């Protein structure tokens, strides 16, 4: 399995002419996984060797603007470069509770219609992830509202035994999120490669001494 990391932005708070806001791409098996999407991410993508159309998963660490204000614009640009395809797998977006509402409202208010499916998987934070006065419970924000175009997705709770959130697993990797302490609930992401058994012919080795 080949992995390649490209830093698109490492600045904090706001982008500058020479340094974009937070964004990082992990390229794996021909797919691109985007971690955070600050302003200017799509411009940085155009300057890189990466193809934005290959983004299949997006991970947002927390809901501060310098980590997600570029996301609605990036999704709209990807849509402009797409053609309708009902069989296409959705772009999976992972992030803190409240991310689904942010995306749905941003796209709805701007009359943006995406030509590809996407799913938002929200991580439910715990109150000890930030100062008590900063913790906000977004779980009931859209309760009772009709969200006819709202994206599907899972609501993920902390696994007390693992002290983490299981996001996805395939034959090669497991991806988990873990809690970080910040001014607002924040998450780190770990991609763990599964053991790869060797292909030695043990009997032949024994025969050869």
CATH number at residue 73: 3.60.15.10
Beta-carbon contacts of 69 under 8 Å, excluding residues fewer than 6 positions away, are: 21, 37, 38, 39
Beta-carbon contacts of 15 under 8 Å, excluding residues fewer than 6 positions away, are: 9, 21, 38, 39, 40, 66
Decide: 154 and 100 in contact? Cβ < 8 Å: no
What sign for the dihedral angle of Cα 64, 185, 151, 175?
A: positive
The active-site residue out of 66, 92, 163, 170 is 66
In the residue annotation, 137 being an active-site residue is answered as no
Decide: 37 and 68 in contact? Cβ < 8 Å: yes
Query: Which residue range is the domain that position 106 belongs to?
Result: 4-207
> How many distinct structural domains can be found in the chain?
1
How do 55-59 and 91-96 pair as beta strands? Answer: parallel
Residues of the chain with pLDDT under 70: 86, 143-150
Instruction: Give the tens place of pLDDT for each residue, 150-198.
Output: 688 999 999 999 999 999 999 889 999 999 999 999 999 999 999 887 7
Phi, psi of 145 (to 5 degrees): -90, 145
pTM: predicted TM-score of the whole model, two decimal places:
0.89
């Amino acid at each position: 399995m080949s992995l390649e990391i490209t830093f698109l932005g490492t600045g904090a708070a706001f982008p500058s002419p020479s340094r974009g806001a937070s964004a990082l791409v992990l390229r794996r098996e021909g797919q691109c996984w985007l971690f955070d999407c600050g302003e200017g991410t799509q411009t940085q993508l155009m300057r890189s060797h990466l193809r934005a159309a290959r983004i299949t998963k997006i991970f947002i660490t927390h809901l501060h603007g310098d980590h997600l204000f570029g996301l609605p614009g990036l999704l709209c640009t990807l849509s402009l470069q797409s053609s309708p395809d009902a069989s296409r797998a959705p772009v999976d977006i992972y992030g803190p509770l409240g991310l689904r509402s942010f995306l749905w409202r941003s796209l709805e208010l701007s009359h943006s219609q995406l030509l590809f499916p996407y799913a938002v998987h929200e991580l439910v934070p715990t109150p000890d992830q930030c100062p008590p006065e900063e913790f906000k419970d977004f779980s009931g924000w859209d309760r009772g509202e009709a969200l006819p175009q709202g994206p599907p997705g899972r609501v993920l709770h902390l696994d007390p035994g693992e002290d983490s959130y299981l996001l996805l697993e395939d034959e090669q990797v497991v991806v988990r999120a873990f809690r970080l302490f910040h001014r607002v609930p924040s998450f780190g992401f770990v991609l763990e490669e599964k053991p790869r058994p060797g292909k030695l012919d043990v009997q032949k080795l024994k025969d050869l001494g």
